[in-house]
Structure formats: structure tokens, C-alpha cells
Amino acid sequence: MGETPTSNFVLIIKHDTENIECQQRNITENSAIYSPSRFWACFLRCKMQRLGASKIVQIDFMPKEQVTYSKETQTPVASDQPEGKELFYLYLIINMDIQLNSGFTHETNLEEENAQEAEEGKKNHNQPRELTNEEKEQIIHSEDFLFFFDQSIRVMERVLAEDTDIFFDYSGRDMEDKEGDMQAGSNLSFNRHFYDEHWSKHRVVTSLDWSPQYPELLVASYNTNEDAPHEPDGVVLVWNMKYKKTTPEYIFHCQSSVMSVGFAQFHPNLVIGGTYSGQIALWDNRSHRRTPVQRTPLSATAHTHPVYCVNVVGTQNANNLITVSTDGKMCSWSLDMLSQPQESMELIYNKSKPVAVTCMAFPASDVNNYVVGSEEGTVYTASRHGSKAGIGEMFDGHQGPVTGISCHNAVGPVDFSHLFTTSSFDWTVKLWSTKHNKPLYSFEDNADYVYDVMWSPVHPALFATVDGNGRLDLWNLNNYTEVPSASVTVEGGCALNRVRWASGGREVAVGDSEGRVWIYDVGEQLAVSHTDDWSKFARTLMEIRANRGDGEEEGALELPA
């Protein structure tokens, strides 16, 4: 009848023929005849069923960690009667011991009278006042006594363990019966091994280092003992070569497995460890604590992955601790302040993913450039500062993760510091020069994963390798390049994880997977270098390079005359 009105609402229109005209008017005036509340109510009811709770959105800003550290210095205290105190403590120990055993009965052969007088006289003069048990307990727990006791037991242990031969005849008459020159004949002879029933059992030796200040001290780090979950995960023991005692000089531990350890080169009292959790722990042998005195924080600015390489580089006054973890992060720290790294860098090759570093080495006297080996089997050079800071060249050659890397560090007339060797899971050890991307030579005498390699610190052509069969090999490249010049399988045949030359180049320490550290003496003919060894090695290198020109690494190499 009328036009359909255009309106903005859906209407329910009541048709009422009587009121159409008024309705039309009403409609154009936009007054609705529907009932709005009922409309919205049923609309809403349908919607209600679709409501649900959203996810909880949380925002966190972490508070800044307050780090405090304090350094103490103490002027030397001039003590008046040190001897007096020590004598007193000794007397106390003896006193208590006598009490326990026999009391003060003093039997002599003198006649009773004299005996009695003498005794009484003695008792009056020599016998001091008897201390009560409480006083004794107090003294035993005092700081002074504990310090004295700690120092004395070390000395006593060393003395008791010595078993030098007092009948040794220097004129050599006794030696005639024995077979010739035993010592000089063997190139590699077993010296001793270090093992602690409590602390090193069932733990793998993860790292070794010799002390630069005290050549007889060796530090070894161990990882978790799965059989003893309540013991600390990471253990570091300092062993002493000089004395025959079989207990460690110092015992340190921390909550996470220690993967790499080293003596701080310019701080004789500090031992640095890199752990599985990414923390760097610092132990001090001046404190009585076995736990680290300083630790780096577990934060994204430091390391969050296991740290397999720790190294102190620099000079006495300007040194840094360089640490690299398996996520490719290199951090440089100052030993005074481990709360945050001085600088940190991500080692990325070719702008793609970071390098998973398993080992690192600095060439002798270089603080800027270093070489790293990675899990993928590639080796890279890297530098800390400069326009090319970060990863430089890539060296491809290994087919398995690189386990050990060592830069040539013997100093002599010819400079071989561009040479380095690497060991890998692919059963080979390769010789490289920083000037070529491909290996110079590949040593393939092993039949298992090669776990570590290290150049001798004194002989230019000598290096040691250890593998998973328990074999320790010494390669002298001036003698043979295809087989090791000396080889020994460690007792028990456990896989050997680490090898370290002592700084004199006469001893080699190897750590195995059962927590034992074996020390081998290297015979003079092999270990000591002669002046012509340097030029001989230079010739050997030239021959290696010449033969390599074909690109074949497995070809037979002509032995130098």
C-alpha cells in the first residue's frame, strides 16, 4: 500500500489494518513498534554462549642484579711468639694422646724414694696445669689451631710418603747388574698416576694444565660422577709431582661440571674453570673454601652454553681471560671483576650461523689472533680486535667434530708459529698452516676417535696425541711422518681424553675417562731438541708441502734422510 519505508532497523511490524495510516506515519518518523529490550535480550543470549577467557598476558622486567665484591689487603702481621704457640699446640696434642693411652704413670728403675722424689720434682716443674676438656675443645676449634694443623698435616704427609732409596750408590757399581741404560733406552716410560678414591672415581678428566710458576703442580678438572648424585658435579684437583704423597694438594669443587681448567698465568694463586652451565668459576688457594671465590653470572651477556676453552692471554699488567662457549660466544674478562665480561663477541662465519666452538688455541706471543675448532669439523682463525674482529678464514678438512687444537709453540731459530695441529673424531690428526685452507698433512695411524693433541713446548717437530683406545702417541716429524715415534697404551685401556706437556717438555700428563691422570716421562733422545732439529723440520715441512701439491693427503711421504 505504501512504499516500503527505508529504515535502519529490522522491524517486526504488527499489521493492524485499522491503524495503517497512523502506523505509516509512525514508521517514517522512525518510532519503532517492535520492542527493543526483548530483541537485544535474545540477541545477547545467543552471543553469551561464545564467550571465553583469553590467555594471560604477562610482562616481566627483571630487576638488576646487585653485585658486590670486596678486595682485602692486609699488611703483614708481625707476630711475637709464633714458635711458642706452635709448641703449645704440639704439647696439647701430645698431652691428649698420652692421656688417652697411659695416663701419667711414670715408671723408672730408680729406687722408690728417689723415684718418688724425682717424680714429684718433675711433676712440680715440668707438668703444667691440666686443661679441662672444654678448654681443649675450644682451642682445637680456634682459627689459629686449624691453620697450624692444616699446614702441619701437609708436611707430615709428604714426609711419610717419601720412599727414596737411602742405599743408592752413586759410583754406579750396583747398576752393572741391571740391563744397560734403562732410563735412556725407553722413549716413553710410566712415571706415576694420580687418582683419588673419593674425588676422581667415575669421573672423566676433562682438562689438564700445568702451573707456570711451580712446574710440579698440575691441575685436573673432572666432570660429573653419575654414581654419586649428592657429590658436587664439578671437581678440580691440584696434584703435586714433587712429593710421593698420593692425595691432592688442593681440592676444589663447584655445582656444575667443569669442562676446562687452567692456572691463571699471572696470578699464582688462582685457578680458573669453565663449566657446563656456562659459568666461569674462580678458586683461590689462599682461602680455605673449596667452593669458588668468584663466579660469573648466568646471564645472556656472559655464556649460557658449556665453556670448553679458557685461556689467560697478555702480560703481567695487561691480561685478560678469554673464554669461548659452544654457542659461538667469545667473552673477554678481567680477573678482578667477573660480574660482567669486558667485551663479548659472537663468532659467526660468513654472516650465517654461529660457530659451535669446542677448542681454542692462541699462537705463542699472540694476543689478538687465535684459532678455534668447531663441532662441525671446520677450523677457523679469529681475531679479537681490529677491523677484521671475529671469524676470519675457514679451514676445511676434518670429517668429524674437532676435539683438540694446538699451536706450535716451541721457540727457536726458525719461526713455525703459523703451524697448528688438530685432532678429531674422524680418527685423524691434521697439520695445518694458517696460510693454507687445506691441511698440510694428515696423520692416520689411529683406530679410534682422537681426543687431544699438543705440540711439545721445546722440540719443534714433536707432538703428542691421545685416542679412545687408551693410546698415547708421540710423533716426531723429523723421524717419521706416517707412524708415531713412540707409543704406549695406558693400563686399563680406558679412553684418554686430554694430553698436556709439562713446561720443560720432559713429561706428558694424560687424563682418562675413569678419573685417572697418568704422568709419562719422555726419554731424552725424543724430548730434547738439538740445534739442527729446527732446520731439519723446515726441510720436512718443505717436503710435505711439495708432496701435497697434488692435493692427495693420503699419499706416501718420502722420509727425510
Partner 1 sequence: MEEFHSGDEVSFSPDEASNVVKECIEGIIGGVDYSQNKVNQWTASIVEHTLTQLVKQGKPFKYIVNCAVMQKSGAGLHTANSCYWDTTTDGSCTVRWENRTMYCVVSVFAVAIAL
Q: Which residues bind partner 1 (CB under 8 A)?
A: 8, 43-44, 47, 50-64, 66
Closer to partner 1 by Cβ: residue 8 or 73: 8
SS3 readout for 365-419: CCCCEEEEEECCCCEEEEECCCCCCEEEEEECCCCCCEEEEEECCCCCCCCCCCE
Q: Which residues 6+ apart lie within 8 Å of 313 measured at CB?
A: 319, 320, 322, 362, 367
**Which among 259, 264, 322 has a CA at the least distance from the CA of 293?**
264
272 exposed, middle or buried (CB, 10 Å; 0-12, 13-18, 19+)? buried
Q: Are the C-beta atoms of residues 443 and 401 closer than 8 Å to each other? A: no
Q: Which is nearer to partner 1, 44 or 77 (CB)?
A: 44
Torsion (CA) 179, 182, 188, 192 in degrees, nearest 10: 110
Report in angstroms how near the CB of residue 39 gets to partner 1 at its nearest. Answer: 12
Residue with cell 698416576: 193
Check if the beta carbon of residue 361 is closer than 8 Å to that of residue 376.
Answer: no
**Nearest Cα to 332, choosing from 363, 293, 360?**
360
Residues 6+ apart with CB under 8 A from 197: none
Shortest distance, CB of residue 11 to partner 1, whole angstroms?
15
Closer to partner 1 at the Cβ: 1 or 53? 53
Distance CA 348, CA 357 (A): 11
Write the DSSP assignment of 499-543 as a string of letters. Answer: EEE-TTSSEEEEEETTS-EEEEEEPHHHHS--HHHHHHHHHHHHH
Least gap, CB of 282 to partner 1 (angstroms): 25
Q: Which is nearer to partner 1, 69 or 91 (CB)?
A: 69
Sheet holding 429-433, edge to edge: 402-407, 419-424, 429-433, 441-443
Question: Closer CB to partner 1, residue 43 or residue 69?
Answer: 43
CB of 42 to partner 1, least distance (A): 13
Nearer CB in complex with partner 1: 61/170: 61
DSSP-assigned letter for residue 137: H
Max distance between CA atoms of the chain, in angstroms, equals 156
DSSP, collapsed to helix, strand or coil, labels residue 136 as helix
User: Taking Cα atoms as reference points, which of 378, 372, 255 lies closest to residue 323?
Assistant: 372
What CA–CA distance (Å, rounded) separates 91 from 375?
61
- Smallest separation (angstroms) from partner 1 to the CB of 277: 23
Nearer to partner 1, 56 or 100 (CB): 56
CB of 53 to partner 1, least distance (A): 5
The distance of closest approach from Cβ of residue 60 to partner 1 in the complex, given in angstroms and rounded to an integer, is 5
Give least dist CB 76 to partner 1, A.
40
Look-up: residue for cell 681440592? 251
Cα(23)–Cα(29) distance, integer angstroms:
10
Q: Would you say 61 or 168 has its CB closer to partner 1?
A: 61
Q: Between residues 32 and 118, which has the closer beta carbon with respect to partner 1?
A: 32
Q: Ramachandran region of residue 316, left (φ > 0), alpha (ψ -120 to 50) or beta?
A: alpha
Strand 517-522 and strand 402-407: pairing? Answer: unpaired
Compare residues 10 and 561 and give the one whose CB is closer to partner 1.
10
Rounded to a whole number of angstroms, the minimum distance from the CB of residue 5 to partner 1 is 15
Nearer to partner 1, 156 or 298 (CB): 298
Q: How far is the CB of 288 from partner 1 (least distance, A)?
A: 33
**364-390: string of b/e by CB count within 10 Å (b at 16+)?**
eeebebbbbbbebbbbbbbbbeeeeeb
What's the min distance (Å) between Cβ of 3 and partner 1? Answer: 18
Q: How far is the CB of 25 from partner 1 (least distance, A)?
A: 24
Give φ, ψ of 395 to 5 degrees.
-120, 115
Nearer to partner 1, 6 or 81 (CB): 6
Shortest distance, position 51 Cβ to partner 1, whole Å: 5
Q: Of the two residues 43 and 104, which places its CB atom closer to partner 1 in the complex?
A: 43
